[in-house]
Chain A
Amino acid sequence: MARMKFLCDAERCIECNGCVTACKNEHEVPWGVNRRRVVTLNDGLPGEKSISVACMHCSDAPCMAVCPVDCFYKTSEGVVLHDKDLCIGCGYCFYACPFGAPQFPQDGAFGMRGKMDKCTFCAGGPEADNSPEEFKKYGRNRLSEGKLPACAEMCSTKALLGGDADVVADIYRNRVLKRGKGAEVWGWGTAYGKPEKGATPPAGAKS
């Protein structure tokens, strides 16, 4: 089975924030929560680079490891999902995540952050595929419809790639060969550098 991964090509990203907008629109993410963001390095200087980042769906995911209620699970395609019914909003996943992916809807005085929200690789959550409950909590489940993540599909320069890791890596390799520079696959070492862990897909919700 395919292993899903994101790859952002810093040589191509033009900081248009199309992916951010596509994500917010697709999933009707609440105000204040952004599952994806674009970060620009050396903004306004020669050599400026931009990178779009969201949950990378790590192979040995730190968020999964620290969650005190163990509410994360990994699909057979390597997508890291979580169960909002179990989440207690402690923020530990946010402290552990290398990419700052977990988000919280509330301001958090007395630790009242609300349920954590993050990129699902457009794969929904533990509820039945494409059910209204799933949409309300996690947004659209495009993967179950055979579609790839909306952000990558929408990317105007095809800087952001999301899908089967082998295909994504092949595309990138070809690009690097043709242009002869920009070979750094940003974030892959951190996200996928360790052996896969926790890929035991539960059939439905954890309960």
Chain B
Amino acid sequence: MQVGMRQWLCAGLAALAFVFTMPAFAADASSGQDQAARQQSQPGNNAPVWRDVRSGDNKYQTTQVRGVESSVLMQPEGETWRQVRNNLVTIYGGWLLVAIMAIIGGFYYWKGPIKLHEKPTGRQLLRFGSWDRMVHWGAAISFILLSVTGTIILFGKHIVLPVVGFTLFSWLATLSKYIHNFVGPVFAFCVVLMFVTFVKDNFPKAHDLKWLAKFGGLVSGEHVPSGRFNAGEKVWFWLGVTLLGLVVSVTGFILNFPNFEQGRELMQIANVIHAISAVLFLTMGLSHIYLGTVGVEGAYDAMRTGYVDETWAKEHHEYWYRDAVAQQKSGGGATNPAAASSMKEGWKQ
């Protein structure tokens, strides 16, 4: 436990820093000989044997029962995992989620949704084609399913069980586990598609720094120009979707397939990294969902229909707006499907 805790936390941090390695607890392979020698010098002193029991790494340690690590007598890391998961992850993770929800709620109460300043022009621009939207909704729906079911597995015992009782909660948890374990790989696949689809517009640009310094004018209400995606969205793309998406998927796969007989230590570390990154992912995801729905007028329609009004484009993504309009003019309406259909949409209104 004393040895365990520090190595453990280091391991968690290291992996969050994208280094996914296993800390190997010191193997004491020569202790068989140790005991043989001890039997000569001090008959009756079994200390080396008892040291083996704790380390569990002795190659002369055997059993006739088959199973995962069945020849290990004792694994003290289990207790460390319990402490980390039940305290650090559950308590701090839980309060972090409560805090971000309070912040979002408070922001909404204080500022309300961000509305357009000028009148909509009625002219529509294509912002997300059908492929873009399909990939985004695939990822979004699986993300929401995983978030809800994962939350039930981690926090349900403390917040849902006392309300609905043991039988009903066990049902809910069983359902959650099935959904989580089968939708997980779907989400992992969507993360790859998300990356491939949106990476080209997410490379950092110089003007992103200005956006970040002013926090996008989110608080001041000031207009800060940005490309197709603003710096906030780029942070979400790189740190959220890409980094956390990858970490959560890799650790999720480790947890999802115990049939490969991974050891318990790997499972414990995978679980802690999975749960910590899931909580961080959720924190960012909640902010993203807020800004994509009630927080910014017109943002949700962009992802639902694919089109935005020119005013919206100008006020939220000015550089992209200029490019899109220029492209529309030079490309000529008919050859550019975006322009063609946007003309149709515009005509309809």
Contact = CB atoms under 8 A, between A and B. Distances in A.
A92 B60 CA distance: 28
A91 interface: yes
Interface string B270-281: 010000000000
B36 interface: yes
Contact of B46 (A53, A113, A182, A190): A182
Contact of A43 (B43, B60, B70, B165): B60
A51 B70 CA distance: 12
Q: Which of A49, A96, A187 has the most CB of B within 10 A?
A: A96
B79 A86 contact: no
A100 B173 contact: no
Nearest to B71: A39
Contacts of A109: 257, 259
A88 B63 contact: no
Contact of B75 (A45, A49, A98): A98
Summarize B's interface: helix, strand, loop or mixed: helix
Contact of A42 (B35, B156, B169): B35
A47 B71 contact: no
Interface stretch (B13-21, B47-55, B318-326): B47-55
A92 B75 CA distance: 14
B130 to A, nearest CB: 31
Given A45-B32, A47-B39, A68-B153, A95 B271 contact: yes
A68 B173 contact: yes
B170 A110 contact: no
B46 A49 contact: yes
A207 B166 contact: yes
Interface string B237-248: 000000000000
A163 to B, nearest CB: 22
A140 B52 CA distance: 34
A47 to B, nearest CB: 4
A175 B51 CA distance: 23
A111 B271 contact: no
Interface string A114-151: 00000000000000000000000000000000000000
Interface in B40-66: 43-44, 46, 48-50, 52-53, 58, 60-65
Q: How large is the interface on B (under 10, 10 to 19, 20 to 34, 35 or more residues)?
A: 35 or more
B44 A88 contact: no
B225 to A, nearest CB: 47
Interface string B208-242: 00000000000000000000000000000000000
A49 B46 CA distance: 9
B85 to A, nearest CB: 6
B157 interface: yes
A68 B157 contact: yes
B289 interface: no
A103 B75 CA distance: 15
Contacts of B85: 66
Contacts of B157: 67-70
A46 interface: yes
Given A42-B49, A47-B36, A47-B49, A69 B64 contact: no
Contacts of A169: none
Interface in A16-73: 17, 20, 34, 37-47, 49, 51, 53, 62, 65-71
B46 A99 contact: no
Contacts of A46: 35-36, 39
A96 B78 contact: yes
Nearest to A91: B258
Q: Could you say which of B33, B63, B169 has the most chain A C-beta atoms within 10 Å of its C-beta?
A: B63
Interface of B: 31-33, 35-36, 38-39, 43-44, 46, 48-50, 52-53, 58, 60-65, 67-76, 78-79, 81-82, 85-86, 153-154, 156-157, 161, 165-167, 169-170, 173-174, 177, 181-182, 255-259, 264, 267-268, 271
Interface of A: 10, 17, 20, 34, 37-47, 49, 51, 53, 62, 65-71, 83, 85-92, 94-100, 103, 107-113, 180-182, 184, 186-187, 190, 206-207
